A and B are shown apart, each in its own frame.
Chain A
């Protein structure tokens, strides 16, 4: 199918748009995203393309600024997950034996647990802030990265060039850096994009449930929740940030997902 080959390109296009919104928000946004006014709950108009929310803030400006939070949390969490998951995956996959058995036990235990529920519990305990969210989501998602890397490293371990390196007396650490890592890095890169997608997915779900970045910071999940009560008055208040989340998640997913 033709659209399949175009998938990463479509993903990149969406990501570029989201990055532009985040970087150029002060220039693109017509209003200050936290500036309240008396024009509460206005429907879309020429002055406010997406209308205003219950405090009279411009929704378009808030959606544009919201890209900063979502991208920041998503990329940060994916970085944490990768930093934790890659060493564990490489070690388990290459060394095998007992190390592998232990790592797989821990990874499987984590993967069976629902990530969102785990993130909810931890966030409730330590309190929501951008830094905490990045760390929590990274902690919840590292096992998926580790499992992916482990599988790949396991396959590379059996290849002839690794055997040759072992035969001439190379040490494990050197082989992993020099021979295994270059053959794993493309998987890590693809998984990085998918991890960003699900970090944004989960963090916006947390905000929707009321445990995300505290207000008045414009945050997509929280905006959807706030707009839910006014779905009849101004549907854009909920649907616009929701569409932004869905699109951004789809962008990173299309870029990174290798199957289908």
Chain B
């Protein structure tokens, strides 16, 4: 197992370097000289040149990249152009918030997709309802779903806070009340796509011989579905989780913006709107790193869920 992890990490390394270099070169190439942007339009060329020299913008791009990478590895991500705050200090407290949101959303999506599609009671009603909900989940954009939920539960019914965030220190209940709608919003798309993948596999597994045996020995339909079909149909969902985690960050960006959640996604949007290069770069790298790591985790989960598969 340990060698597997090490090997996969080693394989992911070139990809990381390649993407980060591409990102760095294209972003700084297109943005031009940030010194001019930082000083504003009235700055004299001499002042711009001086600042550019001080900040190292006049060095060749690959040198800038290497020095960025070097300090990033020691935990120094530079300072924000907009606030002059340390990027690492702004970024670090936001990571757990986004991570919590993402993990809960995936969990909710996985559980609801598998359980709802495995139910044998009132199957004729549950199945079509689940299918239609899935289509809604896939096609309704996060911002629309989020705003509709806010309108219904916060504005009309007044059950939940409209937006904002309550940390754990404000109490568990308060935390969950602020968490509920964002998690639902983020999970909807994955409920839909996991359902598709799960249903297809479920129907195949249901025809297997061991399922017939389970039924023949007198197990109830529910027991057959949950004990024998479900565990054998969940593999494609796990693979799919790995693939979707990258896309999930996109959904998180929109969801955090709608609900004013102080996570990495909203930081990213603000950085992009302000053309705040160091923050943009740091968050993009974090996203890429997350995608690579999550893919690895999904691969490992895959071997746990199906001992027949062994990666070498």
**Interface on A for B, CB 8 Å cutoff?**
1, 3-4, 109, 111-117, 120-121, 124-126, 197, 201, 204-205, 208-211, 221, 224-225, 228, 231-232, 235, 238-239, 242-243, 245-246, 249-250, 253-254, 259-260
Contacts and interface: CB of A to CB of B under 8 A. Distances in A.
7 contacts: A1-B127, A124-B280, A205-B141, A205-B142, A246-B136, A249-B140, A259-B200
B134 interface: yes
Interface string B1-36: 000000000000001001100010011001100000
A126 B26 CA distance: 11
Given A126-B30, A201-B141, A114 B128 contact: no
B273 interface: yes
Interface string B130-160: 0110111011111110011011000100000
Contacts of A115: 247, 250
A144 to B, nearest CB: 11
Contact of A1 (B131, B138, B139): B131
B141 A246 contact: yes
A250 B135 CA distance: 8
A109 B15 contact: yes
A113 B288 contact: yes
Contact of B275 (A116, A124, A254): A124
A1 B134 CA distance: 15
B254 A209 contact: yes
Contact of B139 (A114, A117, A201, A260): A201
Interface residues of B, number: 53
B249 interface: yes
Contacts of A209: 253-254, 257, 269, 273
A124 B268 CA distance: 12
Contacts of A250: 135-136, 139-140
Contacts of B78: none
Given A205-B254, A242-B148, A121 B141 contact: no
B246 interface: yes
A83 B258 CA distance: 34
B144 A246 contact: yes
A117 B147 contact: no
Contacts of A224: 143-144, 147
A250 to B, nearest CB: 4
B210 to A, nearest CB: 26
A111 to B, nearest CB: 7
Interface in B61-120: none
A205 B143 contact: yes
Contact of A211 (B31, B142, B273): B273
B199 interface: yes
Interface string B240-267: 0001001111110110011000000000
A114 B151 contact: no
Interface in B182-201: 196, 199-200
A59 to B, nearest CB: 15
B27 A125 contact: yes
B196 to A, nearest CB: 5
B151 A235 contact: yes
Nearest to B271: A124
Contacts of A124: 272-273, 275, 280
B144 A254 contact: no
Contacts of A201: 139, 141
Given A205-B143, A228-B147, A246-B139, 16 more contacts: A1-B128, A3-B131, A112-B295, A113-B246, A114-B247, A116-B250, A125-B31, A197-B139, A205-B142, A209-B257, A224-B144, A225-B143, A238-B147, A250-B135, A254-B135, A260-B131
B257 A243 contact: no
B153 to A, nearest CB: 12
Contacts of B284: 117, 121
B144 to A, nearest CB: 4
B200 A114 contact: no
